[in-house]
Structure 1
């Protein structure tokens, strides 16, 4: 028998807020975390703005020991561990004893690359014949599963411990993978999420292929403009989101806070066929991912209150809206509300899906729809499909029952998940 699965804890490290309370305030107020980035200017990037989480050393030391922080430069692991441990604490869960792991709990926590700054340091040291000075944590910082390994060690997780990697779909895929493990009864609870490194060695490739904005370097807070006619590309950023998924029976027995119920979803690929390429989605696959997610969740398109979009502030935004409209069979004033978190935080790459999922979970739990900032001038192709009032320009406070969240990534991969307000029925 399939188990019902709910969210009982959340954690967030975002450019516009660290921790759930700061992040919620930023969401409601439409606060941008995008700033001018002197490092990118010095390196002659065309995009000179970015989103980086603002973490003080004192705050970091509440999660890492001084020994762990020696020669530590893996920002993605840093963000992921902090978000993951925030979520675990928020769920009211204990850390396993030193004697035995928690066999019922695991983690699927994704990333795309880990420890790019550490890799750079290693290359120089190896070339200078200083291999022995690399330090004892160099492998843990640079292996792709480093973030899940760190979390497992800090929390004593004894169930599945792994890191997934699927470009921008990573965080949404991690939720679905964790959901399926709990739903099948193979774990009582799973910590899921994703993270991304900060800095020019991650972002340079995107600047090189001209998908990053360049027109708003003097006005950073206005630079990320999903769905806008004046969008010129995405703002590179980073961060991490995390969520504890748990069997409903376990959550009720613990009297845990239930933020939302996960109804189901879907993961697929366009195979880089048709309109799909390494960098562009196959619209047929996107629409199928959405309709298959609805089927898996057992709901109808008309049940959707809000779409939490992928929406990157590139030329593909209009295509995404068209795909939503066709898949849901809804348009104009009948279209669900839709919002784009990237207007506030930029594109967190492999961390994007999880950061955006935390925003969706908060909308359901607190009954509000956060605004899509910087898009008063919706793209004309989008206005052919929906009306402007479907894209809130300020926070709306009203009941939110069902949210659908999708992510579309390089490699023509897609993931879609459906969340519902939990009702004790």
Structure 2
């Protein structure tokens, strides 16, 4: 028997807000989180890209100092978002053995790793922190969330590049369906705005180079798009079975109706230009949700603002929705938040949940001259979704050919 899986709590921190409500409000207002990087290492290494979308609220200003010192900044973001989501869900009373963690990152503790390397070279091995390995591990955030919330069902980590956190949300859906837990803390986090990652992404021509105007640099679907903008932060959804949520009188935001994961097996970094794997993920997510393409009312696109990726995603969506893809309100929210890498699917899932709940599709900012090769229904202003049942899909695709899609529906008890 298929269970209904529902969202009962949300939390988010990014370049446009320190909480989920702030992110949503600023997203609808058309805020851009991209700003010049004010770090000495930008000039020191003569970086070709001098801006990014750094989180507007630093996590060490939210967490207690002893806690923050034991965590890489990516895990700090994870805890900040999880604390908000947990409180938003009403701090569910659940047996530890029935509480799980499905959490993701694309890179993990890169700052901890490279800071430790600098310490080793400059000061010797005795000065390397004993907490270095627990802090740099990709599973550090999942492990710490398990410890903090007493989650004993499992603490699992996904690392599938930019598809990571939607994969974790899909995994949570499957674990709740299988009965492995009653409540799951799901999401993803990333903090990798570091000179080595900026230099590396710039070297492969993946980043926008609009150093003179960072706020308009990320421009999905626009003919002038020239790459993505690095972002950072985290987002968390509290997911549980409808039965458990109703039994405790929880407020329900939306239903996680289904989700799917596929692989392109095409190229380590480039998407399949035909979008075949992405299309299969969309179809499978809808099948698991027992919905048809005609029922989709909103799409939160992966849309990174790269010349090739945006077109491939449109091709995939059209193969599933047909010409109807031109009439479904679509949002590319990375234009506002930047690209959170392994955390991006989580915050876009939060936005999808709020879109179906509030019946509004967020704007896609910086869309000045839409590419005629991508004739989707995007707008620089919020788009009303109308009355009746809502069904949103949130797409995430990552290096390695990873495709992950989650489907969220408006909740009607």
One fold, TM greater than 0.5? yes
Match of 2:297 in 1: 305
Number of corresponding residues: 405
Residue 35 of structure 1 and its aligned partner are, at CA, apart by: 0.6
Match of 1:222 in 2: 216
Match of 1:92 in 2: 90
Mapped to 2, the partners of 1:330 and 1:358 lie a distance apart of 27
Match of 2:332 in 1: 340
* Superposed CA offset, 1:303-349 (max 9, x none): 0001110001011212211210112123475x311110011011111
1:79 lines up with 2:77 in the alignment: yes
Match of 1:328 in 2: 321
Residue 131 of structure 1 and its aligned partner are, at CA, apart by: 2.3
Mapped to 2, the partners of 1:184 and 1:106 lie a distance apart of 13
Where structure 2 has 5 or more consecutive residues not aligned to the other structure, the ranges are: none
Residue 55 of structure 1 and its aligned partner are, at CA, apart by: 2.0
1:359 lines up with 2:356 in the alignment: no
Match of 2:62 in 1: 60
Mapped to 2, the partners of 1:84 and 1:326 lie a distance apart of 36
Residues 110 and 164 in structure 1, CA contact (< 8 A), matched pair in contact too: yes
Match of 1:401 in 2: 390
Mapped to 2, the partners of 1:267 and 1:318 lie a distance apart of 20
| Pair 1:21–1:44, CA change in 2 (3 A) | same
* Superposed CA offset, 1:98-117 (max 9, x none): xxx71110101111222222
| Pair 1:224–1:202, CA change in 2 (3 A) | same
Which aligned pairs between 1:357-396 and structure 2 lie closer than 5 A? 357-383=349-375, 386=376, 390-396=377-383
Residues 76 and 147 in structure 1, CA contact (< 8 A), matched pair in contact too: yes
- 164, 168, 174: which one aligns with 1:170: 164
Mapped to 2, the partners of 1:171 and 1:81 lie a distance apart of 15
| Pair 1:332–1:103, CA change in 2 (3 A) | closer
Residue 208 of structure 1 and its aligned partner are, at CA, apart by: 1.4
Match of 1:37 in 2: 37
TM-score by length of 2: 0.93
Give SS of 1:55's match.
coil
Residue 260 of structure 1 and its aligned partner are, at CA, apart by: 0.7
Mapped to 2, the partners of 1:336 and 1:57 lie a distance apart of 36
Residues 75 and 198 in structure 1, CA contact (< 8 A), matched pair in contact too: no
TM-score by length of 1: 0.91
Match of 1:281 in 2: 271
1:135 lines up with 2:90 in the alignment: no
Match of 1:319 in 2: 312
Where structure 1 has 5 or more consecutive residues not aligned to the other structure, the ranges are: none
Give SS of 1:414's match.
strand
Mapped to 1, the partners of 2:158 and 2:287 lie a distance apart of 24
Residue 56 of structure 1 and its aligned partner are, at CA, apart by: 4.6
Residues 3 and 185 in structure 1, CA contact (< 8 A), matched pair in contact too: no
Give SS of 1:23's match.
helix
Match of 1:412 in 2: 401
1:184 lines up with 2:174 in the alignment: no
1:25 lines up with 2:40 in the alignment: no
Give SS of 1:153's match.
helix
Match of 1:349 in 2: 341
Mapped to 2, the partners of 1:56 and 1:111 lie a distance apart of 18
Residues 176 and 266 in structure 1, CA contact (< 8 A), matched pair in contact too: yes
| Pair 1:222–1:3, CA change in 2 (3 A) | same
Give SS of 2:404's match.
strand
CA RMSD of aligned residues (A): 1.9
Mapped to 1, the partners of 2:369 and 2:85 lie a distance apart of 37
Mapped to 1, the partners of 2:325 and 2:193 lie a distance apart of 40
| Pair 1:168–1:363, CA change in 2 (3 A) | same
